[in-house]
Structure 1
Amino acid sequence: MQDHKEPLSIALVQADLHWENVTANLATFEEKIAALAEPADVIVLPEMFNTGFTMNTALAEPMNLTTTRWMKQVAAQTNALVIGSFAVKEGGKFFNRLLCVRPDGTYTQSDKRHLFRMGEENDHYTAGSTRLTVEWKGWKLCPLVCYDLRFPVWARNLQSDPYDILLYVANWPARRAHAWSTLLQARAIENQCYVMGVNRVGTDGNGLEYRGDSVALDYLGEPLAMLASQETEKIVHISKDELLTYRRNFPALSDADDFEIIVEV
């Protein structure tokens, strides 16, 4: 883990996605990241940022091919931790896989745990079985994917493995925007942590509309940044000292129920 940096700067990149067009999406995000107003410690992209939320597994890539290498390149160029998910083919199965890529090219990964059955995601992809926490510049992040937001047990900030930032990458449709904003606030309040939710805008190849509403929330559930419905990038600065002070003064997590998540695979 690198030395603690105070504060941490996180870039939320909210964009319209080119349906099932990897080349166009990677070019778009490259331009948006280059246009950031200042350097960021963490860069967060939407779910399936290279294709849109597609069930076309023919677009799934083996690891360390086009999109993985692109993320490594961007991380090296920006000296940031780059986070996003895309469809991966591995061992004859398909995964909605989230990568956290460091500037030195190393990365950690986790597969989306809760697959969106109403979109038949569970018929095409295999669910993940482990929750990831990532240490970066003195902070601990817990990155999750879209539908995972509806399942508070999976996101619970456990005393045995506490985190500072809960982060969601998403393709969350406009028709359920109220649930998106409400659940993100709930996750921040109940876990006494910063929460970042990065969604897309525009319309996908299935005709679903997305209005963004990407947001950064503090440990009280109060907004630090709200990106509304346009393509935009926003850098948010967060304080670990303020987080720890709040937790000391209001130690609700000390009274949390102790439990263990047992995953059937």
Structure 2
Amino acid sequence: MQENKEILSIALVQADLHWENVTANLATFEEKLAALPEAVDMIVLPEMFNTGFTMNTALAEPMNLTTTRWMKQIAKQTDALVVGSFAVNEGGSFFNRLLCVRPDGTYAQSDKRHLFTMGEESKHYTAGNARLTVEWRGWKLCPLVCYDLRFPVWSRNQQSDPYDILLYVANWPTRRAHAWSTLLQARAIENQCYVIGVNRIGADENGLEYRGDSAALDYLGEPTALLGSHETEKIVHISKADLAAYRKSFPALPDADDFEIHC
């Protein structure tokens, strides 16, 4: 049975990625996680953390092979929920799939809903058709992937299935950095929740530059951590009591529109 945590500790891991090199990326993240100064409840990695944002579906893995097993290993070693996305081959269809892997080896999964048309992602991958919420140590989180950030309906906090944390893993380029920071803030304010956004840094083989700007924001849209443009890891601690008190003092969520999404 999961322990309920009043204060949740989350490690944001902002890193450069080795282009299409699974072995090098997993080794890099393993070193970074081994150096964390304290135990955490959750570890958040970037989108396609094992390859970079590639349309080369030859690198897509079946489930429960190299990257899935690595995430299970890390989750067990750290006693934390490990979150990140990678390319998956499922019966000849390809998905940009996010996993939330628990220390006992079980996991929840969600496929990226909004595929980045301008990068031809929709020509190579299949869009997800269901939003995921995950319960972890007394908290409920809604994990999404990169371009999903631009579509507020998909991430909307509804009374029928409310969450405490909205989480984005990303490969979001420098040229749209202002949108990244602004939209993270907007999602926190409109959904009255904590928002975690983990982006990569560096450059990929397509000539795209990434400056990171990973962040943790509170329910007011105020930053509790800004990682800047350097390769770094940051641990944040968030309070469930503070979130509940704010929602009680300013109960906007019950006034929101009720709706259904048909995929």
Q: Shorter-chain TM-score category?
A: over 0.9
Distance in 2 (CA, whole Å) between partners of 1:4 and 1:38 is: 19
Distance in 1 (CA, whole Å) between partners of 2:99 and 2:81 is: 10
Report how far residue 6 of structure 1 moved. 1.9
Secondary structure in structure 2 of the residue aligned to 1:190 = helix
Gap runs ≥5 in structure 1? none
- Deviations for 1:99-151, whole angstroms, at most 9, x for unmatched residues? 00000000000100000000000000000000000000000000000000000
Would you say 1:3 and 2:3 are equivalent positions? yes
Distance in 2 (CA, whole Å) between partners of 1:59 and 1:14 is: 22
Would you say 1:54 and 2:54 are equivalent positions? yes
Distance in 1 (CA, whole Å) between partners of 2:146 and 2:92 is: 24
The 5 A counterparts of 1:221-240 are 221-240=221-240
What is the identity, as a one-letter code, of the residue corresponding to 2:77?
Q
Report how far residue 37 of structure 1 moved. 1.3
Secondary structure in structure 2 of the residue aligned to 1:38 = coil
The 5 A counterparts of 1:146-225 are 146-225=146-225
Secondary structure in structure 1 of the residue aligned to 2:88 = strand
Percent of aligned pairs with the same amino acid: 84
- Structure 1 residue aligned with 2:15: 15
What is the identity, as a one-letter code, of the residue corresponding to 2:96?
N
Gap runs ≥5 in structure 2? none
Q: TM-score if structure 2 supplies the norm length?
A: 0.99
Secondary structure in structure 2 of the residue aligned to 1:186 = helix
Secondary structure in structure 2 of the residue aligned to 1:118 = helix
Distance in 1 (CA, whole Å) between partners of 2:205 and 2:79 is: 34
Secondary structure in structure 2 of the residue aligned to 1:247 = helix
Report how far residue 3 of structure 1 moved. 2.8
- Deviations for 1:153-189, whole angstroms, at most 9, x for unmatched residues? 0000000000000000000000000000000000000
Secondary structure in structure 1 of the residue aligned to 2:23 = helix
CA RMSD of aligned residues (A): 0.5
Large movers: runs of 4+ above 2 Å? none
Report how far residue 11 of structure 1 moved. 0.3
Report how far residue 4 of structure 1 moved. 1.3
Secondary structure in structure 1 of the residue aligned to 2:163 = coil
Secondary structure in structure 1 of the residue aligned to 2:254 = helix
- Structure 2 residue aligned with 1:92: 92
The 5 A counterparts of 1:5-44 are 5-44=5-44
The aligned length equals: 263
Report how far residue 2 of structure 1 moved. 1.6
What is the identity, as a one-letter code, of the residue corresponding to 2:201?
V
Q: TM-score if structure 1 supplies the norm length?
A: 0.99
Distance in 1 (CA, whole Å) between partners of 2:210 and 2:37 is: 25
Distance in 2 (CA, whole Å) between partners of 1:137 and 1:217 is: 20
Distance in 1 (CA, whole Å) between partners of 2:55 and 2:37 is: 35
Distance in 1 (CA, whole Å) between partners of 2:3 and 2:163 is: 17
Secondary structure in structure 2 of the residue aligned to 1:131 = coil
Distance in 1 (CA, whole Å) between partners of 2:3 and 2:87 is: 33
